[in-house]
Amino acid sequence: MKAFIIDRYGKKEVGRIGEMPDPEVRDDDVLIQIHAASINPLDSKIKGGEFKLILPYRLPLILGNDMAGTVVRVGARVRDFKPGDEVYARPDDDRIGTFAEFIAVKASSLALKPANLSMVEAASLPLVALTAWQTLVETAKLKKGQKVLIHAGAGGVGTIAIQLAKHLGALVATTTSTANIAWMKALGADVVIDYKQQDFATMLHDYDVVLNSLGNDELNKSLQVLRPGGHLISISGPPTPAFAAARGLAWPLQQVLRLLSFGIRKKAKKSGVDYTFVFMRADGARLREITSLVESGAIRPVVDKVFPFQDTYQALAYADGGRAKGKVVVQMM
């Protein structure tokens, strides 16, 4: 099958389209013909080698972390899916590879595609929607009437997290550039901070939750907007000892992550708030709940641009430019 492959790690690694073996289909797997896959910051981080200690992939590696497509074949133990079903998923992180013609995904990580979405729209959702769910619903336990700051509202996670937080009944603040202010309000944000003109840390106070997807400066300043007992959640790091233990990482690596996150954990404790690093995981059951929200109209995908499969590298480069509003999608067929 044709796939977009990297042969080595490195920020300057271009990647290439080449032939790879067809996926092995295990008893609890579903073989899917991929129609579309979306670009996520995780793709460039993996390509650059940032996760090679945590996610020891075998090279050459097919990139791609979420997709939508059609079921071709199911494993012997699979009962919930059949050939012809239109599905979408974020594959388990040890079995990525959605920039390809086919992929085998665990049935437990899969869900039927929302009926009201195209394949391109559906492909834009799994990773970012699961990230929003796992941070806001599972980790923050966000409740009606609480206040949440979602950084980078125009990004892939931000656009979905704003909609989910509003659905949960929260007051939502977000940060974005001047050009996106009206759009953020239309998406559901109650308070929009123009980071080019305003400092969120001096304008927001007594927030219950902050969802950070940016760098260390924003992470540290976010402590200032939280009330005592609030919760700072980061999807961009630094990882914590709890994350390392949950993934079963080797003891030396656990100590490295302990040191990396020591500063923010100490500051959070001093401020009386919790700090959690979330690395999203595949979850078909939660994806089915997200499907219900999409079909009811509570959440709608935001697709900025669609590239043909042969231009996957250009799609990655465009997404890395940081100007995309919502998601960038690669279309296979």
Phi, psi dihedrals of residue 226, rounded to the nearest 5°: -90, 145
Domains (range + CATH), the chain: 2-124+301-331 (3.90.180.10), 128-277 (3.40.50.720)
Determine the pLDDT at residue 322.
85
Determine the pLDDT at residue 13.
92
Determine the pLDDT at residue 270.
97
Residues of the chain with pLDDT under 70: none
Q: What angle do CA 239, 138, 261 make, to 5 degrees?
A: 15
What string of DSSP letters covers 94-133? TS---SBSEEEEEGGGEEEPPTTS-HHHHHTSHHHHHHHI
Q: What does the CA dihedral 71, 74, 78, 79 come to, rounded to 10 degrees?
A: 60
Q: Are 150 and 176 in contact (CB under 8 A)?
A: no
Determine the pLDDT at residue 52.
87
In angstroms and rounded to an integer, the radius of gyration of the C-alpha atoms of the chain is 19
Determine the pLDDT at residue 56.
86
Amino acid at position 251, single letter: W
Write the pLDDT tens digit of every residue in 91-128: 999 999 999 999 999 999 999 999 999 999 999 999 99
Write the pLDDT tens digit of every residue in 244-286: 999 899 999 999 999 999 999 999 999 999 999 999 999 999 9
Can you tell me whether residue 183 is helix, strand or coil?
Answer: helix
Tokens of 245: 């233990």
Handedness of CA 199, 201, 207, 212 (dihedral sign): positive
Can you tell me whether residue 315 is helix, strand or coil?
Answer: helix
Determine the pLDDT at residue 54.
86
Determine the pLDDT at residue 286.
98
State the first-to-last Cα distance of the chain, in angstroms, to the nearest integer.
Answer: 14
Determine the pLDDT at residue 166.
98
Instruction: Name, in order, each residue with C-beta under 8 angstroms of 85's C-beta and a sequence gap of 6 or more.
Output: 70, 71, 112
Determine the pLDDT at residue 196.
92
* E strand map for 116-273: 147-150, 171-176, 191-194, 207-212, 226-234
